[in-house]
Amino acid sequence: MRPFTYERARSPAEAASAAAQTPGARFIAGGTNLLDLMKLQVETPAHLIDVNGVGLDRIEPTPEGGLRVGALVRNTDLAADARVRRDYGVLARALLAGATGQLRNKATTAGNLLQRTRCPYFYDTNMPCNKRRPGSGCAAIGGATRGLAVIGASNACIATHPSDMAVALRALDAVVETVKADGTTRRIPIAEFHRLPGDTPHIETALATGEFITAVTLPRPPGGTQIYRKVRDRASYAFALVSVAAVVQRDGTGRIALGGVAHKPWRVEDAEAELPRGTKPVMAAILADARPTRDNAFKVILAERALASVLVEARN
């Protein structure tokens, strides 16, 4: 591990200000992804800003009838919250499908959103990777692509986003709240928070330098039957090959977001109009622009079958 300096922030504004003043600084809370990346020298931040002391560890009702989840709320606590279990079941289930109990005890809401890809070439510093080292190339293209994206990829990067929680948040139309170094705040719809890779796969979110996530807001509960189905190589402690976050209403309408298929949680709202007609037309519309490789073409079929099983469960 490379040497780095360290400080503890006492407020969100202080954290954002410290990050803006120190090039190469990173926030650290649970550290469940960042510390691994530092040990492998995939990430070599010059400075760490510990944000565990800034508060933001509460889940509170909003005036609009939703919930405001502080950025430092641990995944375990969010999944166990009675209001989340009752009104946002898809979120509770997605959280419990992620990682392990020990990791969920440490991992935070903001950190979950900011996880880096699990593309194996990203973690191998001997290999070219535009995300790790911009302009160096992409070892995955033409390499082993089984776990990588089937849609929304570019000639620079075909990685997927690893979060389960973010897929559920996409189905719930959550909003990410932030503060910048100058004290200004903003609200970023989850649909706009994660980016597709394009020519700049190292820029993964809409966050500006130093911008600090303070909370995630959930709108009023959408009701319906809420399901998160994750398909993976083993039953625990594995990332999704494909996942489906679904909110299905009694009349057959609903919302569908996919994980494991793209650089961000994948949702095509227009495709949801096809839901009452069944799985095939919905999935054909959601993955209309899919460009799978020979190694990962199975994901397209897997996604369709996962959605079919979710819809059967929702309607019974």
Residues that bind ligand SF4 (CB under 6 A): 117, 119, 121-122, 129-131, 138-140, 148, 157-159, 201
Find, among 171, 134, 129, 126, the residue nearest to 148 by Cα.
Answer: 129
**Residues near 126 by Cβ (< 8 Å), separated by ≥ 6?**
none
State in angstroms the smallest separation of the CB of 134 from ligand SF4. Answer: 9
Shortest distance in whole angstroms from residue 42 CB to ligand SF4: 10
Please say which residue, 254 or 265, places its beta carbon nearer to ligand SF4.
265
Tell me how far apart the alpha carbons of residues 115 and 136 are, in angstroms, rounded to a whole number: 22
Task: Quote the least distance from Cβ 27 to ligand SF4, whole Å.
Answer: 21
* Nearest-angstrom CA–CA distance, 217 and 231: 27
Answer for the pair 242, 260: CB distance below 8 angstroms, yes or no: yes
Least distance to ligand SF4, CB of residue 109, Å = 24
Minimum CB distance to ligand SF4, residue 241 (Å): 16
Strands 175-179 and 185-189: antiparallel
Q: CB-wise, 128 or 281, nearer to ligand SF4?
A: 128
Q: Which H or E run contains 5? A: strand 5-8
- Closest residue by Cα to residue 103 from 54, 33, 3: 33
CA pair distance 294, 154, nearest whole angstrom: 17
Q: Which residues of 208-243 are buried (b: 16+ CB within 10 A; e: fewer)?
A: eebbbbbbbbbeebbebbbbbbbbbeeeeeebbbbb
Q: Give the contacts of 292 (CB within 8 A, at least 6 positions apart).
A: 150, 299, 300
- Give min distance, CB of 126 to ligand SF4, in A: 12
Contact 275, 129 (CB under 8 A): no
162 or 254: CB nearest ligand SF4: 162
Query: What's the rounded Cα separation, in Å, for the pair 275 and 85?
Result: 25
Nearer to ligand SF4, 160 or 279 (CB): 160
Tokens of 209: 């330098």
Amino acid (one-letter) located at 171: A
Is the Cβ of residue 45 or residue 162 nearer to ligand SF4 in the bound state?
162
Of 148 and 242, the one with the shorter C-beta distance to ligand SF4 is 148
Task: Quote the least distance from Cβ 119 to ligand SF4, whole Å.
Answer: 3
78/158 with CB nearer ligand SF4? 158
Closer residue to ligand SF4 (CB): 104 or 161? 161
CB of 117 to ligand SF4, least distance (A): 5
